[in-house]
Structure 1
Amino acid sequence: MALPGRGRLAVGGAVAAVMIGLLAPGAAAASGRADAGPGCRFLDVPVPASVLERQIVDLPGLAVLAGGGELPIHGRLCLPDGESPKTVMLAQHGSTYNNTYWNSAFEPDVYNFSRAMTDAGYAVFAIDRLGYGGSPRLTPELLTLEVHAEVTHELIGKLRAGEAGGESFDHVILVGHSYGTATAWRESAKYNDADAIIGTGWSNSVTPVPTARFLATYYPAQLDPMFAGRNLPPGYLTMRPGTRGGDYFYASGGFDPEVVDYDENELRDTAPDGEGTFAARFGAIPLAPAPGSRDDIEVPLSSQTKRITIPTFQVLGSKELQFCGTDQNRCTSSQRLQRDEARFFTERACLRSAVTPHSGHIHNFHRNAQFTYASVRTFADDVLGPDGGNKDSYREHCASISGADLDEGPPRFGP
């Protein structure tokens, strides 16, 4: 999700923020254990500081004010046993998380996404987005959806060129959760330079009331004991202690209470308020159920996802509050979700959607996380495979399973 505060960036305000202190790098939170985990290692991959200039309105000169040069993007590269795969998943976390969202040290056989994917033969590069974990904490108003998309674009090129830990990959799948999915969709709408997208915890519609409740849990990170003394610039937020287990994150009865404790005390990170600029990129805002219909009355917004031309996969939990429409009516089945979301894509995106039963927003830490992982692996195997061998054959027929004309039936994905 995105966050409240000073997210709508005005040119004058942005330049003023830059002049006050663009690169206040202070205080990067630890991005998980010092031990990267089996088959994994930590990396810092530099991207040009010019990514900061690509705002909703481009701001030439920000890279110069930042001293030019490069920004190190911290991440964790995990490889399967044996020969290196040709396909890598570039994984991006949501708000108030970092790369540990994909690399749980708590019961990793159940909740560790990277381990599940490397067991299936894929490489995973899970990053700390700018403003999180071990990546630079810049002036927060500058860290917008546009900038995160530009960083993603740079990293795709570096993964293909062997500039991330010396490993080169022929194929890149963008994987995102929540705001990480928004980043993948925005980057692809601009560049379409990855091979596929897998997005969890995000849709083209945001339901206002539960989203407002969720955003009300944010407060200045400087007030939080977990982040006290880290010299954070103003504009960094976090969720209030004790709110992590709310129903906007976890589905009642679907999680282990110890997971929430781990989430609260080990995974919780800060978030820059510039990310609030995501709002202009939604497809519609549902307001209320339409009389005599299963659909909602909506306010239309952006059509950016109609510019996506690479195969796209979307996963939501059936108990998701923010992105399943009023009364969660859009997540009653995988087919219903796909029909609804297909309105915002063209057939070139070959959209496929899946619903994980009894899951809320935080897919990786529900008891049925392995169900979601199985859905992700099914799509990844279909669209590419670890060696990329399925790419051409998938493209030949995938449009026929996209669109809004699918019949109700059993879910395609999951165990």
Structure 2
Amino acid sequence: MSLVRISRTLTCVVAAVTAAITLGAPVADAAPATLNNCTDISVPVSLDGGPRTSHIAGRYCVPTADPGTALQVLVPGATYDHSYWDFPGFGDRYSYVRHASRAGTATLAIDPIGVGESSKPPGWQVSATTAASTLHQVITAARNGRLGHRWDKIVLVGHSFGSLTAMQEVGTYHDVDGLLVSGASHAPGPGGILQIQTSVRPALHDPRTARSVPAGDYTYLSVPGARARAFYAPRDSDPAVVAADEASRVAGTIGVLATIPVFIPTTFEIDVPVLVANGRADNVFCAQGGGGSLTDCTDARTLYRSERPFFPEADLSTYVLPAAGHSMNLALNNQEFFERAQRWASAI
């Protein structure tokens, strides 16, 4: 790949992420959740290699009859917490976690550092490197049995910004058996970015997020109103779901922005099976979404050609969910994606 192309890609990714963000003893700390096979857990982590004084929160769901040997670790995108993977209501139709549970698959859906119930250090301290490092510590805890079960196979699953974090984690630490990238590509479009960027404001100025971030910290940001414009395809979404999604938005941090381009070189080092899955109408990351992306999501073959140069060492597969927008889990035809994801993960 030419240096010019890499430079252009870095520029696009920085812009996309800027818009999207501008927007121990873990089992002992666990609290029971509403389902008898799910637990809210807290995994102690270190931000700088020192004492583990911070924590990553997550929803840990393990089949009661037979936990199996494989765990999927789920990382949400910017302005989402773990509930993106277990979207409430609507008869569980939009819950990736419930679908995985019915297939007998264990999941751990996390709140990344600075998000939701996880520790919230000053926003400028929450870099891309910190996000990947703390995710690595969670995976290590799962490998070592610190979550109550020793997992032999771990598949890391990301969405949007969470996919960028997941790619950096895998390319840096090489500690998982497979990587599923959803809602992301290496060539975002400026039009889709602009639709998000116009909504950016400090989280302290958004009534929905103001009380969930550190007092006086203007480096936590929110994007109220962006979901309907940028995250959904109108013909493949339920307005009631869009409204519920908007009402559950959370804050992201500005500290990631200065360091996020470091994820790109790490994808060249990923050497495990990778599935890249996008909605065909994603207006940020797919050309067919109309936002100016250079990624061709016509079908799995064209997506493969677009993304293959960035994964030279990986066993790469691709998938396109017809008609869907950016937030694939919340599309009307999401079950097609859920089925494809489980088949791919179980074959690793």
Using structure 1 for the length normalisation, give the TM-score.
0.72
SS at match of 1:88: strand
Which residue does the alignment assign to 2:83?
Answer: 100
Tell me how far apart the structure 2 counterparts of residues 6 and 185 of structure 1 sit (CA, whole Å). 17
Distance verdict in 2 for CA 1:152–1:142, change over 3 Å = same
State whether residues 95 and 271 of structure 1, in contact with CA within 8 Å, keep that contact through their aligned partners in structure 2.
yes
Matches within 5 A, 1:357-368: 357-368=322-333
Which residue does the alignment assign to 1:89?
Answer: 72
Q: Which amino acid aligns with 1:110?
A: R
Q: Which has the larger radius of gyration?
A: 1
Tell me how far apart the structure 1 counterparts of residues 20 and 106 of structure 2 sit (CA, whole Å). 36
Matches within 5 A, 1:25-44: 35-44=33-42
Matches within 5 A, 1:125-140: 125-140=108-123
1:2 aligns with 2:17: yes
Q: Tell me how far 1:4 sits from its aligned partner.
A: 4.8
Give the alignment partner of residue 48 of structure 2, picking from 43, 47, 50.
50
Give the share of equivalent positions with the same residue, in percent: 29
Give the alignment partner of residue 372 of structure 1, picking from 319, 337, 341.
337
Matches within 5 A, 1:16-415: 35-51=33-49, 63=50, 68-164=51-147, 166-230=148-212, 231-232=214-215, 233-240=217-224, 242-246=225-229, 248-265=230-247, 267-277=248-258, 279-281=260-262, 302-325=264-287, 326=292, 330-346=296-312, 348-383=313-348
Distance verdict in 2 for CA 1:278–1:314, change over 3 Å = farther
State whether residues 4 and 215 of structure 1, in contact with CA within 8 Å, keep that contact through their aligned partners in structure 2.
yes
Q: Tell me how far 1:208 sits from its aligned partner.
A: 2.2
Question: Considering only aligned residues, what root-mean-square deviation do their CA atoms show, in Å?
Answer: 2.2
Tell me how far apart the structure 2 counterparts of residues 329 and 307 of structure 1 sit (CA, whole Å). 21
State whether residues 4 and 273 of structure 1, in contact with CA within 8 Å, keep that contact through their aligned partners in structure 2.
no
State whether residues 143 and 152 of structure 2, in contact with CA within 8 Å, keep that contact through their aligned partners in structure 1.
yes
Gaps spanning 5+ residues in structure 1: where?
8-33, 52-62, 283-301, 384-415
Q: Tell me how far 1:199 sits from its aligned partner.
A: 1.1
Which residue does the alignment assign to 1:293?
Answer: none
Which residue does the alignment assign to 2:13?
Answer: none
State whether residues 280 and 323 of structure 2, in contact with CA within 8 Å, keep that contact through their aligned partners in structure 1.
yes
Distance verdict in 2 for CA 1:155–1:5, change over 3 Å = closer
Tell me how far apart the structure 2 counterparts of residues 154 and 281 of structure 1 sit (CA, whole Å). 19
Distance verdict in 2 for CA 1:162–1:5, change over 3 Å = closer
Q: Which amino acid aligns with 2:17?
A: A
Q: Which amino acid aligns with 1:330?
A: D
Q: Tell me how far 1:358 sits from its aligned partner.
A: 0.8
Tell me how far apart the structure 2 counterparts of residues 329 and 203 of structure 1 sit (CA, whole Å). 7
Output one character per residue of 1:3-45: Cα deviation in whole Å (capped at 9) or x when no partner.
35999xxxxxxxxxxxxxxxxxxxxxxxxxx944352110001
Using structure 2 for the length normalisation, give the TM-score.
0.86
SS at match of 1:154: helix
SS at match of 2:341: helix
Q: Tell me how far 1:306 sits from its aligned partner.
A: 1.3
State whether residues 6 and 141 of structure 1, in contact with CA within 8 Å, keep that contact through their aligned partners in structure 2.
no
Aligned length: 319
Tell me how far apart the structure 1 counterparts of residues 40 and 21 of structure 2 sit (CA, whole Å). 32
Tell me how far apart the structure 2 counterparts of residues 151 and 225 of structure 1 sit (CA, whole Å). 29
Q: Which amino acid aligns with 1:269?
A: V
Q: Which amino acid aligns with 1:280?
A: P
Tell me how far apart the structure 2 counterparts of residues 198 and 261 of structure 1 sit (CA, whole Å). 27
Q: Which amino acid aligns with 1:321?
A: N
Tell me how far apart the structure 1 counterparts of residues 20 and 279 of structure 2 sit (CA, whole Å). 27
Q: Which amino acid aligns with 1:197?
A: L
SS at match of 1:307: coil
Output one character per residue of 1:63-106: Cα deviation in whole Å (capped at 9) or x when no partner.
5xxxx442111100011241111000011100011011111112
State whether residues 175 and 197 of structure 1, in contact with CA within 8 Å, keep that contact through their aligned partners in structure 2.
yes
Q: Which amino acid aligns with 1:103?
A: D
State whether residues 318 and 328 of structure 1, in contact with CA within 8 Å, keep that contact through their aligned partners in structure 2.
no
Distance verdict in 2 for CA 1:338–1:36, change over 3 Å = farther
Q: Tell me how far 1:202 sits from its aligned partner.
A: 0.7
Distance verdict in 2 for CA 1:323–1:104, change over 3 Å = same
